Structures are given as C-alpha cells and as structure tokens.
Structure 1
Amino acid sequence: MSALPKIYRGNSTPLPDAELAALIDAYPKPSRLSEYSYGTAGFRYEASLLPCAFVRMGIFTALRSASLGGEEVGAMITASHNAERDNGMKLADSHGGMLDADWEEHAVSLANAPDSKHVLALMRTLANRVGTTAPDGKFPPMVVHIGRDTRSHSTPLAELVIRSARAMGATVIDHGTVTTPMLHHFVMHANGHMLPMCIPQRCNEGGYYEIVAMSYAALLRTGGTIVGVGGGCRRLPSASTLVIDGACGIGAIKVDEFRRIFARLSDEGCTVGLPSLRVVNFPGDGPLNVDCGAEFVQKQQSPPKFYGDSASGASRQYVTSFDGDADRVVFHYEDGGGEFHLLDGDKIAVLVSSFIQDELRCIDPDGTAVKCGVVQTAYANGSSTLYLKNVVKTNVVIAKTGVKFVHAAAHHHFDVGVYFEANGHGTVLFGPKFYDFIASAEARLRGTPRHDRANIALRRLRVLPALVNQSVGDAMSDMMLVDAILFLRGWDLSTWASLYSDMPSKQAKIKVADRTVITTNDNETAATAPVALQIALQAAMDAMATQENAKDGPKPRCFVRPSGTEDAVRVYAEANTQKGADSLASEAMILIHKLCGGVGAPPQPLITNRL
C-alpha cells in the first residue's frame, strides 16, 4: 500500500532575517564550482555540490508559490539517468509542468548569490517586483510538494529544501520516494482548477495508480466491441508478459506497487487483454542506471543487463526500460535469432500519433475539427519524420533540443500535440479545442449503437487525457498507453517495428577551446556561425547523397550543436548506411576541429562495428 504524504506546516511567520541568514550561511557555495547553471528542468551536479543550492531552492519554491497567489508548486530531488554519485532538482510549476522559463533566471540568481546578505536582498527585490507580499510584509499561503528518487543522498538533500521552505512560512507536502512524473502529477492535481473535467482529481500516489489503471482498462475494453474481429481483440502470445527494466531505480518499486491495482482489476472482472507485468532491476539489484535503463538501452542500442534475473528467450520478446526517475521509456525485444531491436521515442511518436489520428477520423473524416501534430527535435530519425508526413499524414514541427522546448511547441502549435524525444521522454498534450470536439461528438452520437465505430472512437479518445500524464513525460503511463494501442491493433513489437526502418546514425562529441564560437538556428538543424562551417557541412551532405544515390528516400544529414555543459560540440549524422553515417560524422568533426578551435590532435575517422 502506498504511503500517504507527510505534511509539514510552515512557520506562522517567516524566520527573522538573522535566523534565515544563518541557515543559508551554514551551507556556503562550494569553492570548486564557479557557478550553478539551469539545465532543461533544473539543477544537476555531483551530490556534494548541491546543499547550498538546495537550501536556496527551498526559499525559491516558497517564493514561487507566493507569486502565484498560493498555488502549489513542486521540487523533485533526482538526477534522472545520471550515475548514483549525482543528484539534482527538477522544479514543477503550478500547472504541473516545468518551471516557467521567465523564472529560471531568478532560480539561477538565488543559487549563485555569494552569501546570505545577497540571497535575502534578491529575495526581497523579487518579492516586491512580483507583488507577493501584503502591505504588512507577509506572504500569502505557500505550498511546496517534495519528492525524491532512491539515491542515498536524496533524503538529506530533500530535508534541506523542507527546512528552508518552512522557514519562509510555506507548508511542505513530502511525498517521500516517488517517480518524477508522480510528483508533477501531484502538483497538477493539487491545483485542481487547472484540470479538464474529464480527469478526476487525485492528489496522492494511490490516486495516481487508480487513474492510470482505470483509464487503461477502459481503453482496453473498447477492443471487445468492434463487430467482425472475432468478438474483440486478442493479445498475441509474444505480448502476454511485459517485462519492465526499472534501471535499479524508483520506477521498479512503483511499477511493482502498481501491479496490485492490476490484481484488483482482475478481481473485478476487467481482465480483457491484461498482460502479466514482470519487474526486474530493482534498487539494490545493481548500480543505478549502470548497464540498464532507458538511457543505456537507447544510446548503446543493446539490451540491458538483467541483474539477478535469468530473463531469456520468450521473456525477452516484450520489454520496456525506464530511466532512473521513470520519466523516459523505450521498448525493445530479441527475435528468434537473438537479434536486438529497439523501439525508441521516434517509434512511440509514430504509434501514438497514428492511433489518435485514426480515431479522430472515425468521428471527423475531413480531419478539420482538431489540429494534430508531432513535435520532434533534430535528433529524430529522418525515416520517422518521413513516415509521419507521408503515411500518418500529420503535421511535424522541429523544436530546439530539450523537453521544455518540445513541450512548449506541442502546446503552441497543436490541439493534440504528440512529442517523444528519441530518448523516450514524451507525452500527448490535449488543448481546449480537443475537449470541445469531444463534447460536440458526445452530443451528436448520443443514442447510437455502442459498437458503432464512431462511438468506439469517442470512448477511446475520451479516456486518453486521463491515461496520459498531461504535465510531463511519464514512463508508467506511456508504457500502458503503448500496450493498450498494441492490444487494440493486435500487434506485437515486431509488427510495430516493421512500420519503417531507421536510417543508420552516429553521434559523437569533439572538444573545442570555446563552444560559444558556434551558434545555431532556433531548432538547431543548421549552424549560423562560423558561416563557413554550415557551407562545408552542406557540401558534405550533398556529396554523401550523391555517393549513396539517395533520390527518393530520406537524405543524409548532419548537424552540430554546442554542448550546454562543457566546451565541446555534439555531432549527429545519419545516412542510408552505417558507413555513410560514420563518414559524415567524421567529416563534421574534422571541420569543427579546423574551423572552431578544436583542442588536441585532429580527430580520427569514426568506425562503428555494427553493419
């Protein structure tokens, strides 16, 4: 049984400046760190560097809640797919998504202030600027939700956030060890006025499981009402047991608890199509994220190590891998010959978007009522982009790399926006026009036979916003969404994988003296400086296209982007052969070394052992 959160009331009035300053000064900024930087979703460093920032982020989260009139916000202590030695914090705004971009600079300023005097001055300035205090100088009610992963240092770091947030007068709701998506879910549901009417408000862990399980079961049940398919859908034997690689992290624990809900569904007769869930790679089975988990599987394109488990043969035909905080998921299997096959975020985006559009067209054949689309980054495989455009016939937008950019683009461009980065982080966002469409369809189809195809499509679409985590990528809910779609289509992973073949690709990195000499366009598909670099890269791509005789299919491409954390440049190349991708990446690295101040000897040609 999942534990209820602990609630810590804040001080009736914030601590006097002297006491708050003492708390801040007890955890000074580490001398070996020049400054804290804010990544895609927050701060992430080796754990011993973080106490200073975490004390200040407790103050920051309380202040952010005050700036929203007391709406509830969150902080998740995790370093996601990083090694055990690292930790970090992901911040959740009141809508459940990531912190508003305009507030990132305030978080960075507080984290990097030299001492308590400057922290308090920044705090007062910011409070006055956003009008968070009453005339008597008091803050409105403030609420901060806290969650943490399984790292040994996550609990003491969380305690620092709790102490400083309470010192500000905030109430802290401590959810203990949870996945990152759960923490975002709790925050979104705590501010219930932001939820669409079709999503029940559930603010705790048990409620989260209930929503995912019940909406998943409701989606599966629609497969038993289509006339002419043998009385309903059937699960293929190869998809009867779903093995979950938990990356030796929090996801394994939570999926194992979720299995109890499955047992209840079975007891209640909701057994149509339910797979058996088998969880491997728990905390303690092996090192966190080492040789297992979504990051390892997707980057290495090889199966995970099954610590303490002899999974083989048939039990490896239907496998998913989570990352350390369970906001990424990829699927994979080994065929009869033992060959490994990966279905990454690109494949998930294709599966999910095609399913949604098929169901929408059953109600709206013209496809004009709701604008659907997929947001990808430059790292998306070119074959997936072509398939989305030419076969699924959906809109595709390329956004800057990073989940906060693709999430914003999905909101901005589409009424139903699907995004999955290749690493498996993604979700589906449903906008106001979608809910209006569902309401209109319900009125129009009321009284029609239950097995009418448009009626079935309506029931499927109506349940999706509850099944899919609307705030952030969620390995557990995404896993259940994919499983339901495969069941409804009567597919296994091999059928799904056969939709299209990925272009071979190569990723590499080269050190430079100063990464700022390279700039790119908004979606990072082309370099804007140095000018000579993009000209040379384009010439290399054109030459590879001629060499490979790439006329009708995806064209070879290559892009480069400066690293966000070190003086290095990241290279991505893809072509119709692995040799071509390696060659293109090698040429890009040589160009960067020559034109952008490469460090050390010129790079050697890249060679991949895979065909």
Structure 2
Amino acid sequence: MAGPQSLKPLQLKNNLPVSELAAACDKYPKPEGHVYSYGTAGFRTQSKWLESVVFRVGVIAALRSKRHSSKFIGVMITASHNPEDDNGVKIVDPRGEMLPTDWEPYCTTIANAPDAASFLVALDDLCSKFKIDVSKPCKVIYARDTRPSGLALVAALQLGLKAIGCEAIDEGIRTTPQLHYLTRATNTEGTKDDYGVPSIPGYYEKLANAYKRLIRRRDDTPLVVDCANGVGAIAMKELLEYLPKDFQVTLANTDVFVPGVLNHLCGADFVKTKQELPPSLKGVLKPGHRGCSLDGDADRLMYFYLDPKGGFHMLDGDKIAALIAGYFVDKVKLCGFKEPPRVGVVQTAYANGNSTKYIQKTKGLPLVCVSTGVKHLHHAAEKFGIGIYFEANGHGTVLFSSDTLDTIRNHEPQTPTQDDNTKDLKALVDLINSTVGDAISDMLLVEVILNHLRYDAQAWDSLYTDLPNRLVKVLVRNRDEFQTEDAERRLTHPADLQKFVDSQVAKYPDGRGFIRPSGTEDAVRVYAEAASRFEADQLANYLAGWTYDFGGMDPASRPKEYLR
C-alpha cells in the first residue's frame, strides 16, 4: 500500500492529484510477473490480468485530453478477433485516429509501474515530456465490446477517470469503429470539419443515407452476414432499421450474450486463417449468394462465396482493396477534375503477390508496402489524395486528404456524366468511415461497388487469381534475434537464414517468402507463396524448418508440434 509517508519523498514537477491517484492505484495493483506492452492494438492479454492496466489507461487518456486542449479522447475496451477470455484496451485520438507512437513507450512504462509511487513518477515524466498543463479540464468517451470481462474493466477505467477528475461519457456496448466515429464527430461538431452527428443514430443515418444516394438498382442476390456472435450483430440489427427495406440480408451468428461463442468457429479471423466456410453457415450460404464475416468488434471484414459445385472461395482484404482501388481510379477520371486527386494503395508483405501485380500493372496505381500493423498502413495512406489500405486480414479503409475533400466539394462539373460521378464521390466520402477500418461501412461500400459494376462475387473474384500461399508459426527462444528491413520482407539477422530464403525462393515459379518476428510472442511468422499449392506448402515447410534450426526452442522444452 502506498501510504502518505511513502509518497512524501516524491519530487514531482507537475501538480497531479497525488493522493487520489495513489489511493486508486492501490485498489488495482499491478500483478507480479506480468509485463505489458502498448502496440497497434493497445494493450491486450487475458482479461484477468488487465484491470490495473485499464485503470492506468483511464489516467493516460485524461492526460492526453489535457494535452489536446480538453478535446475528447476515446477509450475502447475490446480484444477484437481474439478468444472470449482475452480482452484489451486502446486509446483513440481526437480525430478518431490511433495513439501516436511516441506515446506508446510511456504507456508501457506506466502500465508496468510496480507501485503507486513509481506510477506517479511515470505520470509526471509523461506530463513533463509532452508539456501537459495538468490544470486543464479533460474529457474521455469510452465503450466496450460484448465480452463478460468488459464490466469489471469499465469499473477500473472509471476509477482512473474519477481519480484525475475527468469528464466522461459511457457509450456502453459499441463496435470499435463506432467509438472512433463518436470521438471524431464529438470533437468536430459545428466546425468546418464536421464529421457527422455525434451519436449512434447519427452514425447509422450517415451510412444509410449515403448508401441510398449511391445504390443504382435493386439486387435480389442474398447477402449472408456472419456477425461472429459479437457486437457487430447488435450494430447490424440496428442499421437495418435505417437501410432500404429491400436490402436482402440474412444475419448469422448473432448469439451476442451466449458464453463461449464469441469468434468461436466463425468471424473474419476464422475465415482468413482456416480459409473455409464457418460451420454455422453450411446450408445457410448457397451458391449464387454472397457471404461476409465481421470479427468480434466489427473492424475486420472478409467476403466469400460458393461456386456452383459448392467450392469455397475467399475474398480477403487484398481482394477488397483491389475492387475499391479499381473503382476509385475510374470514378475520379469520370469526375473531370482539372487536378485529379492521386489515388494510391498501401499493403503489407502479407498481401498476395498477384494482388500487387493487379494494382500496379493492370490498374496502373502507385502502391506502397509497409510493416505489418494498421498504424503503418494508415500513416502511409495519408500521403495520397485518396489512400486505400487493407491488410489481408480484412482490416482497412479509404482516406481522403483535406485538399481532396476541398477539391470534391468545390468541383464544378461540365457534363451530366461528370455531375453524376461527382455526386457519387461526395456520397462515398460519407459512406466510408475514414477514422479506422469499419467492417459495416466497408461492407456497404463493397455492396455499392458491386451494384455499380454489375458484378457478382465470381466476377469480382476473377479480377486476379490468388497465388497459393501458406503462413506458419515457429516457436523460438527469443524473437528479438530475428531482425528485418524492407517493410519486414528481408532478414538482416540471422543473415545466413536470409541467404537460405533467397536460395529456396528462387527455385519456385512465382515464389516469394519472408520471415518476420511476431509482435506479441516468442514466435516467428513464415510466409510463402508459389504457383501451386504443393509448391507453396513445400516452400513454407523448408523455410520453417530452417527457421527452427536457427532460433528454435531447446530440445528439452520443445513441444510435440512446434509448427502450428
């Protein structure tokens, strides 16, 4: 316990509410033996170890608000596509963006402070580093997904907010993209950058009205939406009240509050990882239908369909990016801009090689490859007039620069065709949730594009043929022994392992492979693709075997199956 005597020697430079923060910190002591790290998804681990972290995130978010002249900061409690017994927490910036990377080390230090005294010192260091005026008011808006652990974590968050005297809005159970939307809309209300009505009905109305402005024709092709038994089921049911009554959709996996079913054998991550239809959709999705899966917090989207013989075909984030990019570059041309916005695409090394060729060679678009992690894609996409980014896992969106938004708003079309397409572009800006990847917004965007192009799922799939690929996880003693460059596509260490990769890849037609360390565990990801399934599997196994030889676990502790 951090009593008054233990706090007296502290020499803090900033006027923090020491007694309140120390007393609250003692109620949520950091568990011994657990080390936390703030990454792209914030903090994430088993929910039973998270209460102290969420309490501290509440304080950090309040200080972030003070740093941003008392604007609202968002806090989302979610573990997205992870199993139900996991949970996590992340901070959302005033415009709905992710927390800047220069704050991440401070978040990590504060989360790992072993006692109240060191916690206060870490907070004081944060305030001094970023010149935070502690006397300013602070505001936080927060939400959670449907996990049972959410209630206890919200209580911890609320104590942190109360201890530092923060004004707070509890949005209850919401999707992650909804919390991002609310944060931005609340902060921009009544300004020239007004993002929409800062409410959940305002979110639905914005998407639905844009969809209605864009839809061309009635499409009777059924759409089956796998809601992953998560908060996306609630959002989809509510959204349908705003969409046209002839929107043909069947919602599946909507058991939101049934224990143990969240993301279990369903959802976007299941589809991407297993590359098969969720068992619960067998008999529901039929040939000729389109299907898509959300993940547990509705920020990832995966499409799929069955061919006439019942064969499963996946349309992942790469396919979604290719569809959107091709559509946007043609749409921009038809608007007749004097200085058209530059359309570009951002991918990671996991993007299928043929998707890269399609975007660069067939559509003639600039493409940038960045390190894995949404924050890297988002920042790279901001450099384009219209930046499209999707990870292969289905997380992505479209960004519009401020200059591009001005260009679209002020454009004076010269022909009816230009006028129609400019109206479409304005509606597309409203349909897309640019704050973060939003599975529901992305789903409506895909449906609009397919409607405009008169494509069914098979026609969309035929834009290019995916190269067969395989992803393997190899457990290692220390992932830090594996270091990369070139957007994680090449190893700098061990150098001899990269030489082996080069020699093996060269043996396979359309061969490509890379090895990169995991960001969350002592494991290495091995990716391989080639012209045939057999060759992709063979290449992956060769690379995985050599990876284990270079950094695998000691024989005494080696699991029965080190490849998973």
Identify the TM-score tier after normalising by the shorter chain.
over 0.9
Q: Take 1:360 and 1:205, find their aligned partners in 2: how far apart are those partners?
A: 31
- Give the aligned partner of residue 214 of structure 2: 219
Q: Take 2:328 and 2:190, find their aligned partners in 1: how far apart are those partners?
A: 23
Q: Take 1:73 and 1:176, find their aligned partners in 2: how far apart are those partners?
A: 16
- Give the aligned partner of residue 480 of structure 1: 444
Contact 1:558 1:574 in 2 (8 A): yes
1:295 to 258, 269, 279: 269
Q: Take 1:121 and 1:416, find their aligned partners in 2: how far apart are those partners?
A: 43
Confirm whether residue 469 of structure 1 aligns to residue 469 of structure 2: no
Q: Which amino acid aligns with 1:321?
A: S
- Give the aligned partner of residue 229 of structure 1: none
SS in 1 for 2:330: helix
- Give the aligned partner of residue 516 of structure 2: 561
Q: Take 2:365 and 2:399, find their aligned partners in 1: how far apart are those partners?
A: 15
Provide, for residues 280-331 of structure 1, a one-character-per-residue CA deviation record: whole Å limited to 9, x for no partner.
1111466110100000011100111328x962436x7211100000000111
RMSD: 2.4
Confirm whether residue 435 of structure 1 aligns to residue 431 of structure 2: no
- Give the aligned partner of residue 9 of structure 2: none
- Give the aligned partner of residue 84 of structure 2: 84
Confirm whether residue 497 of structure 1 aligns to residue 461 of structure 2: yes
Over 3 Å counting, the alpha-carbon distance change for 1:596 and 1:195 in structure 2 is farther
The alpha-carbon deviation at position 399 of structure 1 amounts to 0.6
- Give the aligned partner of residue 393 of structure 2: 423
The alpha-carbon deviation at position 48 of structure 1 amounts to 0.6
Provide, for residues 132-162 of structure 1, a one-character-per-residue CA deviation record: whole Å limited to 9, x for no partner.
22xxxx5212110110000011012012112
Q: Which amino acid aligns with 1:21?
A: A
Confirm whether residue 95 of structure 1 aligns to residue 95 of structure 2: yes
Contact 1:195 1:201 in 2 (8 A): no
The alpha-carbon deviation at position 64 of structure 1 amounts to 0.6
- Give the aligned partner of residue 323 of structure 1: 295
Q: Which amino acid aligns with 1:356?
A: F
Contact 1:544 1:580 in 2 (8 A): yes
The alpha-carbon deviation at position 544 of structure 1 amounts to 1.6
Greater Cα offset, 210-219 or 430-439:
430-439
Contact 1:370 1:415 in 2 (8 A): yes
User: 1:126-137 counterparts in 2 under 5 A?
Assistant: 126-133=126-133
2:223 to 223, 233, 242: 242
Contact 2:344 2:388 in 1 (8 A): yes
Q: Take 1:84 and 1:399, find their aligned partners in 2: how far apart are those partners?
A: 30
Provide, for residues 106-141 of structure 1, a one-character-per-residue CA deviation record: whole Å limited to 9, x for no partner.
1111101111111112222322343322xxxx5212
User: 1:16-31 counterparts in 2 under 5 A?
Assistant: 16-31=17-32
Q: Which amino acid aligns with 1:299?
A: T
- Give the aligned partner of residue 271 of structure 1: none
In structure 2, runs of 5+ residues without a counterpart are 1-14
- Give the aligned partner of residue 269 of structure 1: none
Q: Take 2:234 and 2:542, find their aligned partners in 1: how far apart are those partners?
A: 45
- Give the aligned partner of residue 387 of structure 1: 358
2:153 to 157, 175, 178: 157
Over 3 Å counting, the alpha-carbon distance change for 1:339 and 1:191 in structure 2 is same
Q: Take 2:521 and 2:304, find their aligned partners in 1: how far apart are those partners?
A: 32
1:396 to 338, 352, 367: 367
Over 3 Å counting, the alpha-carbon distance change for 1:509 and 1:600 in structure 2 is farther
User: 1:216-365 counterparts in 2 under 5 A?
Assistant: 216-220=211-215, 223=216, 233-235=217-219, 237=220, 239=221, 241-262=222-243, 265-266=244-245, 274-282=246-254, 283-284=256-257, 287-306=261-280, 311-313=284-286, 317-364=289-336
Confirm whether residue 180 of structure 1 aligns to residue 176 of structure 2: yes
1:146 to 142, 148, 157: 142
Contact 1:41 1:99 in 2 (8 A): no
In structure 1, runs of 5+ residues without a counterpart are 1-13, 224-232, 267-273, 546-554
Over 3 Å counting, the alpha-carbon distance change for 1:512 and 1:377 in structure 2 is same
TM-score (norm. length: structure 2): 0.92
Confirm whether residue 592 of structure 1 aligns to residue 536 of structure 2: no
Over 3 Å counting, the alpha-carbon distance change for 1:320 and 1:194 in structure 2 is farther
Matched residue pairs, number? 547
Over 3 Å counting, the alpha-carbon distance change for 1:544 and 1:129 in structure 2 is closer
- Give the aligned partner of residue 107 of structure 2: 107
Q: Take 1:599 and 1:244, find their aligned partners in 2: how far apart are those partners?
A: 45
Q: Take 1:606 and 1:39, find their aligned partners in 2: how far apart are those partners?
A: 26
User: 1:471-550 counterparts in 2 under 5 A?
Assistant: 471-545=435-509
Contact 1:519 1:527 in 2 (8 A): yes
SS in 2 for 1:419: strand
Over 3 Å counting, the alpha-carbon distance change for 1:498 and 1:605 in structure 2 is farther
The alpha-carbon deviation at position 592 of structure 1 amounts to 1.4
Q: Take 2:29 and 2:554, find their aligned partners in 1: how far apart are those partners?
A: 34
- Give the aligned partner of residue 190 of structure 1: 186
Provide, for residues 522-580 of structure 1, a one-character-per-residue CA deviation record: whole Å limited to 9, x for no partner.
411111111111111111111123xxxxxxxxx21000001112222110000000111
Q: Which amino acid aligns with 2:91?
A: L
Q: Take 1:392 and 1:173, find their aligned partners in 2: how far apart are those partners?
A: 45
Over 3 Å counting, the alpha-carbon distance change for 1:561 and 1:45 in structure 2 is same
Over 3 Å counting, the alpha-carbon distance change for 1:167 and 1:251 in structure 2 is same
Q: Take 2:352 and 2:190, find their aligned partners in 1: how far apart are those partners?
A: 35
Q: Take 2:327 and 2:430, find their aligned partners in 1: how far apart are those partners?
A: 16
- Give the aligned partner of residue 579 of structure 1: 534
Over 3 Å counting, the alpha-carbon distance change for 1:599 and 1:480 in structure 2 is farther
Q: Take 1:460 and 1:510, find their aligned partners in 2: how far apart are those partners?
A: 47
TM-score (norm. length: structure 1): 0.85
Provide, for residues 456-482 of structure 1, a one-character-per-residue CA deviation record: whole Å limited to 9, x for no partner.
111111112211111100011000000
Contact 1:215 1:464 in 2 (8 A): yes
Q: Which amino acid aligns with 1:381?
A: N
Q: Take 2:248 and 2:128, find their aligned partners in 1: how far apart are those partners?
A: 55
Contact 2:474 2:552 in 1 (8 A): no
Confirm whether residue 168 of structure 1 aligns to residue 123 of structure 2: no
SS in 2 for 1:117: helix
- Give the aligned partner of residue 205 of structure 1: 200
- Give the aligned partner of residue 550 of structure 1: none
Q: Take 1:560 and 1:16, find their aligned partners in 2: how far apart are those partners?
A: 47
- Give the aligned partner of residue 9 of structure 1: none
Contact 1:69 1:132 in 2 (8 A): no
Q: Which amino acid aligns with 1:275?
A: F
Greater Cα offset, 475-484 or 151-160:
151-160
Q: Which amino acid aligns with 1:419?
A: Y
Q: Take 1:36 and 1:607, find their aligned partners in 2: how far apart are those partners?
A: 26
The alpha-carbon deviation at position 424 of structure 1 amounts to 0.5
The alpha-carbon deviation at position 234 of structure 1 amounts to 5.0
